[in-house]
């Protein structure tokens, strides 16, 4: 029954967007977590999305949901700031700040929230279509 697959597909999207929202929240929260060594500094994290092709092939259906393959850390250079009064400052008075781009994260958050809304609307519309089908002949 195709309409029930819609819930699976939209549900996978809700899950993926939630992971994206979580990484964004984590990045924003740690945007100013300074540390004294570059190895210990927080790095921006991003989820990697991919279509759920294998599951779709197994169930003999053409439509595929979305899955999170994993979370990667950004390779962008860390920010190095001169703050001799900071408790985590090294001998030269420098601290390392995470490579989080706050503006990018904000845009990411809005995009994730819009995609989440769209999936909810798709589920709602499918629910109404199914309910209508159940009323057939009444």
Partner 1 sequence: MPSFDDALGIHPQALALRAKRSELIAANLANADTPGYRARDIDFREVFADEASPAKLRQTNGRHLSTLGADSSGYAIKFRQPLHASIDNNSVDAQAERAAFLDNALRHQASFTFLNGRITGMLAALRGE
Residues that bind partner 1 (CB under 8 A): 1-3, 5-6, 9-10, 12-13, 16-17, 20, 49-51, 60-66, 111-112, 114-115, 118-119, 121-122, 125-126, 128-129, 132-133, 135-137
In the numeric block, the tokens 């009064």 are attached to 85
What is the largest distance, in Å, between two alpha-carbon atoms of the chain?
A: 81
From CA 93, how far away is CA 96, in angstroms rounded? 10
Do 84 and 93 meet the contact criterion of CB atoms below 8 Å apart?
A: yes
CB of 19 to partner 1, least distance (A): 11
CB closer to partner 1 out of 13 and 41: 13
CB closer to partner 1 out of 26 and 115: 115
From CA 7, how far away is CA 41, in angstroms rounded? 40
CB of 94 to partner 1, least distance (A): 34
């Amino acid at each position: 029954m195709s309409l029930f697959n819609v819930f699976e597909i939209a549900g996978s999207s809700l899950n993926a967007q939630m992971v994206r929202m979580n990484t964004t929240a984590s990045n924003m929260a740690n945007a100013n977590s300074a540390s004294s060594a570059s190895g210990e500094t927080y790095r921006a994290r991003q989820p990697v999305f991919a279509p759920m092709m294998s599951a779709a092939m197994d169930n003999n259906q053409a439509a595929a949901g979305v899955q999170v393959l994993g979370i990667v850390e950004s390779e962008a250079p860390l920010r190095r700031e001169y703050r001799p009064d900071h408790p985590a400052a090294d001998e030269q008075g420098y601290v390392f700040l995470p490579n989080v781009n706050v503006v990018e994260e904000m845009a990411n958050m809005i995009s994730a929230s819009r995609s989440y809304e769209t999936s909810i609307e798709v589920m709602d519309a499918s629910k109404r279509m199914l309910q209508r089908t159940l009323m057939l002949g009444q």
